[in-house]
Structure 1
Amino acid sequence: MSPNRAVLEDAIDRGEEEGGNVEFKERLTRDTHLQDGRRASLAAQLRHRVLSGDGQATYVLGVTDDGGIAGVSPETFSETMDVLSLLADEADVYIDDVQTWGVEDGIVGVAQLKEGSVFDGDDKHIVVGTAGHVDHGKSTLVGSLVTGQPDDGEGGTRSYLDVRPHEVERGLSADLSYGVYGFDDDGPIRMNDPTRKSDRAQVVEAADRLVSFVDTVGHEPWLRTTIRGLVGQKLDYGLLTVAADDGPTRTTREHLGVLLATELPTIVAITKTDLVDESRLAEVERSIERLLRDADRTPLLIRRHGIQAAINEIDSSVVPIVRTSAVTMDGIDTLDSLFRQLPKTTDETGEFRMYIDRTYSVTGVGAVASGTIKRGEVEAGDKLLVGPFSDGSFKEVEVRSIEMHYHRVDRAKAGRIVGIALKGIREEEIERGMVLLPRDADPQPVREFEADVMVLNHPTKIDSGYEPVVHLETISEASAIYPDDGHLLPGDTGTATLRFKFRPYVVEEGQRFVFREGQSKGVGTVTSLHSS
């Protein structure tokens, strides 16, 4: 709910005028406003309002024809937004933003509409997961990338990725942060202020190519959250930061291990190069090269081999290294060139599937499930299944609307980070690790699966019944491991049966996962499923 009621009051003060761009609607219903010729008439009215406003219109909802505050129920407001979205499609406009206020008799809202079609996206939208030790400049570097603004030396641009008050209002958690910038024929499209929803939406609308960042947590005690960010999102690339004044740390090794274990093509950015001299930079580069070679990866220094070599060679075994400074902006152009040209790596084909990472509730809209679409695409109005619940069942829901970086879209494809408003379920019923599937899917959730596993670190041996936390997609669940050979030692590769401790989940053959407990860590690949 927006605290700025001035937006509502200003729209009502302007009022409905012939030739104006403000329209009052108490409510819109499918039965009344989409029947016979009414739909075409209302779409023409909407088009007229937008043209009268030089490409923009304001619809005040929940008010009478003379601007009196009436208010409608949340259910009626949601239906009103559904109908308005359909009218917008027909009028070749889109809903850019919606704000709501609670009144005595329900809800009133202001919808801003703009001329043109919503962003449909293309295969060039890449998603980058960031990692790195706390204070190694990870969020600061991303902040400078998405804004084009140098840091003040105190981590000022980092604040652009912190959770802001308006995000707290929407129920967004403060663990993973998201940033976005893009490119068109003229170069980078950046945000002046990423904390403004309109700035992010403008980038999504204007860019021919988008780069979304999933910015993880650098503190070692929160490694579990970092693993969720790297494993639970549909990432194309990893970006690992190492501060020049500190060098690789144990957390650096942990994060690199997760990135490489999931076979994610990764770039290493040496940050804070403005704080050290050339000899120290060369020393840190050598340390990173040794670290990569110890992990059977080939380091590629971009300053020596060039940007095109990095683009051509980067994969799960070749890791480019770039020097950067958010203060002097050194290396920003190099990263721009990489992100502008790097190909998308994830497969977008197949039946729609999205593992849910976060949930929140929006007044007048209801439950919203957020995550990265794993494959396929989804459209507003689609009928989906959500689950599994603790008993293995699923519930049918309908897609009310889709939002991508605060920009309302009609449809979204695999790889997009989206919030999907769902009709037919309460927010408190949805949990992280659940999945959204087409209504005609036949999901078979499981408690047990077979996997090929590798133990990366463990103080002794892993015996049958050992219970780490398994991170698979957005699932984070305590699970028991039963090695086929009875036990596994550090460095061992073998087969094992894994069993979720509390509930079933949707799991597929070929999915990669990380298991961790304390300092123990391993990786695995699902090879077969056991029916529940």
Structure 2
Amino acid sequence: MSADRAALQQALKRGEQDGGHIEFKERLTRELHLADGRMESLAAQLRHRVLSGDGEATYVVGVTDNGGIAGIAPEEFSETMDVLSLLAEEAGAHIENVDTWSAGDDGLVGMATIREGSMLTADNGHIVIGTAGHVDHGKSTLVGSLVTGEPDDGDGFTRSFLDVQPHEVERGLSADLSYAVYGFDETGDPVRMDNPHRKTDRARVVQEADRLVSFVDTVGHEPWLRTTIRGLVGQKLDYGLLAVAADDGPTKTTREHLGILLATDLPTIVAVTKVDAVSPERVVEVEKEIETLLRDVQKTPLRVERYGVETAAGELNETVVPIIRTSAVRGDGMDDLDRLFETLPKRSTDEHSEFQMYIDRTYNVTGVGAVASGTINAGTVSEGDELLLGPMSDGSFREVEVRSIEMHYHRVDTAKAGRIVGIALKGVDESEVKRGMALLPREADPDPVRSFEAEVMVLNHPTRITEGYEPVIHLETLSETAVFSPEGGKLLPGDTGTTTVEFKFRPYFVEEGQRFVFREGSSKGVGTVVSVDD
């Protein structure tokens, strides 16, 4: 990732010193620098640099011994980082961060920060929470205040910590999924970020916290419902957080988002936001509306103000829904949310099953290559693991290798089910990696699935679903047009029935038991994969 070139110039100016923490390397190769004897010598040198820097060393790559800019090809830079990572591991250290700059036509020069100690292994208490709610109901603002501890100014200041695109900041509307993290130390005190836009700050939270809380902040604007569904269905969430503004109350979008949360059996908390903007009587009125809405779908509301945080944490499940009053401006309910998130248990995960992750986003990182991000569905993944990626459009799976793993910008050597990670992959170009693809163990024998049988429930449809109906299927992170062929020829609103579902354009990795949401215009429904066709 490109950074301020002044940091590079400063390192070059200071230069290598016998008792210093800076080391220049033009290039490292596996064949030469990992050979017997050579690796031990270089690891000892790295250890010396780390100790000289009080636990931190700086390696400048792509420069000559006297600090001249040489520049190396991207593939050479990538190999150098792999070798440097192995040397750091041998020396009891790890690469914390890498910045790169262009040098010449196609060359790169980079600077790696190496810290003492092994890479973090993700903790067992990490929970992931997905937000939902109508646009302008304050869910992003609430999360921004939670992860920073900063009060909002009443105009959505803390929301800006999550909006990352210029048009999002300008319009005050989120247009894609955003991610945030905070945590708690071993005494239960919050560990917050000073600036969520600064990746080193996120990494610090991951490193310092004994328990982590990650947020997947979805989109409230109706045109981006597809993105919201992707966030709630495809992210292996532990809990849902539905924001309902006290000045507006439940809306059509509120009901729609609640339906998605409940259809996926996700234990959900309702936050009544903006209580500072209305009278106490209005807050009570909105709470009653929410309670009626929940009872209409056979859920039991539980007011945290009346029963307390401990009761809410103990009773929260697929049926009981706590309701909590909040204000990001005055701070109402923020301490209660902290206590709730610090107390809630991690829901059961498949940490001991085979590794599986559906890809949500892809990146091309200079000097690293293809990076796939998503939430690990099952199992564990480690640096150096050999995996399968796919299916490709022709149904094949590509052999890839895990180059490195990051969790909220903190390098980890292993990550478990339920963690949101970015995985750098060897053996594939970023342009070939698509959302909805799966990463699986190399020894797996997956079949590409073009069609499957499903049991579906039609939640809403203006007439009836017949042969050839083409909704968009949201399953894990994939969103794809599919063709329905209902058993018996039709499905009416409110019906539960069986249908064949065939992806229209390409195959995906699908398994029995997976839940999905389908949508087409105002028509919506949920389903479960019953069997897959060979």
Q: Secondary structure at the match of 1:410?
A: strand
Q: Secondary structure at the match of 2:285?
A: helix
Letter in 1 for 2:252: R
Aligned partner of 2:176 in structure 1 is 175
* Stretch moving more, 401-410 or 73-82: 401-410
Say if 1:346 and 1:415, in contact at 8 Å, map to a contact too: no
Matches of 1:8 and 1:465 in 2, distance apart?
Answer: 59
Matches of 2:326 and 2:51 in 1, distance apart?
Answer: 46
Matches of 1:118 and 1:125 in 2, distance apart?
Answer: 17
Please list, as runs of the form range in 1=range in 2, the aligned pairs for 1:281-360 lying within 5 A after superposition. 281-347=283-349, 348-360=351-363
Q: Does 1:381 align with 2:354?
A: no
The alpha carbon displacement at 1:418 in A equals 0.9
The alpha carbon displacement at 1:312 in A equals 1.3
Q: Secondary structure at the match of 2:202?
A: helix
Matches of 1:45 and 1:493 in 2, distance apart?
Answer: 67
| TM-score normalized by the length of structure 1 | 0.97
Q: Does 1:158 align with 2:129?
A: no
Matches of 2:488 and 2:320 in 1, distance apart?
Answer: 33
Aligned partner of 1:519 in structure 2 is 522
Letter in 2 for 1:155: G
Matches of 2:9 and 2:198 in 1, distance apart?
Answer: 21
Matches of 1:335 and 1:485 in 2, distance apart?
Answer: 49
Letter in 2 for 1:260: L
Letter in 1 for 2:460: N
Matches of 1:233 and 1:459 in 2, distance apart?
Answer: 30
Matches of 2:455 and 2:22 in 1, distance apart?
Answer: 61
Please list, as runs of the form range in 1=range in 2, the aligned pairs for 1:249-288 lying within 5 A after superposition. 249-288=251-290
Q: Does 1:16 align with 2:10?
A: no
Say if 1:163 and 1:174, in contact at 8 Å, map to a contact too: no
Deviations 1:59-98 (A, max 9, x none): 0001111111111110110011111111111112111111
Aligned partner of 2:112 in structure 1 is 111
Letter in 2 for 1:486: G
Matches of 1:41 and 1:289 in 2, distance apart?
Answer: 67
Matches of 1:7 and 1:253 in 2, distance apart?
Answer: 50
Matches of 1:338 and 1:452 in 2, distance apart?
Answer: 36
Deviations 1:265-297 (A, max 9, x none): 110000000011111011000000111111111
Aligned partner of 1:90 in structure 2 is 90
Say if 2:175 and 2:224, in contact at 8 Å, map to a contact too: no
The alpha carbon displacement at 1:185 in A equals 2.2
Aligned partner of 1:2 in structure 2 is 2
Say if 1:234 and 1:346, in contact at 8 Å, map to a contact too: no
Matches of 2:448 and 2:341 in 1, distance apart?
Answer: 37
* Stretch moving more, 409-418 or 469-478: 409-418
Say if 1:201 and 1:405, in contact at 8 Å, map to a contact too: yes
Aligned partner of 1:132 in structure 2 is 133
Say if 2:175 and 2:219, in contact at 8 Å, map to a contact too: no
Say if 2:24 and 2:63, in contact at 8 Å, map to a contact too: yes
Please list, as runs of the form range in 1=range in 2, the aligned pairs for 1:191-206 lying within 5 A after superposition. 191-206=193-208
Q: Secondary structure at the match of 1:112?
A: strand
Deviations 1:415-435 (A, max 9, x none): 111111111111111111101
| TM-score normalized by the length of structure 2 | 0.97
Aligned partner of 2:222 in structure 1 is 220
Say if 1:128 and 1:239, in contact at 8 Å, map to a contact too: yes
Pick the aligned partner of 1:397 from 384, 396, 400: 400
Matches of 2:115 and 2:165 in 1, distance apart?
Answer: 26
The alpha carbon displacement at 1:199 in A equals 0.3
Matches of 1:164 and 1:382 in 2, distance apart?
Answer: 33
Q: Secondary structure at the match of 1:316?
A: coil
Q: Secondary structure at the match of 2:120?
A: coil
Say if 1:118 and 1:205, in contact at 8 Å, map to a contact too: no
Q: Secondary structure at the match of 1:257?
A: helix
Say if 2:122 and 2:412, in contact at 8 Å, map to a contact too: no
Q: CA RMSD in A?
A: 1.4
Q: Does 1:445 align with 2:443?
A: no
Please list, as runs of the form range in 1=range in 2, the aligned pairs for 1:411-490 lying within 5 A after superposition. 411-490=414-493
* Stretch moving more, 113-122 or 48-57: 113-122
Of all paired residues, the percent bearing the same amino acid is 72
Count of residues in Structure 1 that have an aligned counterpart in Structure 2: 526
* Stretch moving more, 98-107 or 249-258: 98-107
The alpha carbon displacement at 1:164 in A equals 5.4
- The runs of 5 or more residues in structure 1 that have no matched partner are none
Matches of 1:135 and 1:97 in 2, distance apart?
Answer: 36
Say if 1:448 and 1:497, in contact at 8 Å, map to a contact too: yes
Deviations 1:141-194 (A, max 9, x none): 0000000110011100000001157x99xxxx9611000001112400000000
Matches of 1:485 and 1:345 in 2, distance apart?
Answer: 38
Matches of 1:92 and 1:158 in 2, distance apart?
Answer: 39
